[in-house]
Amino acid sequence: MKFEIKHRLSGDVLFSLETENMKLCVEAAVRSGANLYGANLYGANLFRANLFRAYLFRADLYEASGVNPYRCTPLLVLLDQPGKIRAYKLVNGNSEGPYNGGIIYKIGGTYTVSDADMQIDVKCGAGINLATMDWCMNNWQKGYRILIAEFTAKDIAAIPTATDGKFRVSKCKIVGEKDLKEISLGVES
C-alpha cells in the first residue's frame, strides 16, 4: 500500500512510500533525511517509531499515538532547569501578544492565567505563550517588540510535542526587552 506524508496546510506530498503502515513510512522519511516540516501526522500510530533527528517542527501530531516527545522536542530541557528561566515574548505595538491579545505586557509586571492549556498536542493554546529567540525573530513584524520573560519550571503549562519554539506558561514576569538593533531586526540595510 502507498502511504503519503503531506504538508498540513498546503497538502503537498513531503514523502511517500509503498509499505505496510504509516509508522514505517514516517521512519523511512526520517532515515532518508526528508524535511517533515509541517507534516500532517494526524492520528498516525507512531508507537515505538524511531524519530531520532526527525525535523517535525510545525508538524500536526494531533491524536498521533506512541510519539515519544523526548525524541522530537528539545525544549523539554526547560522542565529540568532549577530556579529562574528566561525566554521571550513577542508583542505587537500595543504590548499584547500578536495573535490572541488580551494581556498588556509591561516591564516589571507579573502575569498569571488560571486557564493555561496543558495539552502537549495543542501548538497554540490558552496561556502565556513564550518562545525561543529564533521563533520571535521569524515571526517579528515592523512595530513588534521582543520582551524577556522570567519563569520557573513549575510555571510551565505545556511544551507542545515537536514545537517550533513556542510553549506555554501559567505565570511569568517581564524583566526586560531586547534591543532590536542588537539582534539586527528592523534595521534598514
Pull the grid cell for residue 57: 517542527
| The predicted structure's pLDDT at residue 62 | 66
95/189: higher pLDDT: 95
The lowest-confidence range among 32-41, 141-150, 165-174 is 32-41
Delimit the domains of the chain by residue range: 2-67, 74-177
Position 3: which residue type? F
- The C-alpha atoms of residue 38 and residue 166 are separated, in whole angstroms, by 15
Q: How confident is the model at residue 63 (pLDDT cuts 50, 70, 90)?
A: low
Contact of 29 with 14, CB cutoff 8 Å: yes
Q: How confident is the model at residue 186 (pLDDT cuts 50, 70, 90)?
A: confident
Q: Tens digit of pLDDT for each residue in 69-105?
A: 887 789 999 999 999 999 999 999 999 999 887 899 9
Q: Which helix (H) or strand (E) holds 156?
A: strand 156-158
Residue 67 has pLDDT above 90, yes or no: no
| The predicted structure's pLDDT at residue 126 | 93
Residue 189 has pLDDT above 60, yes or no: no
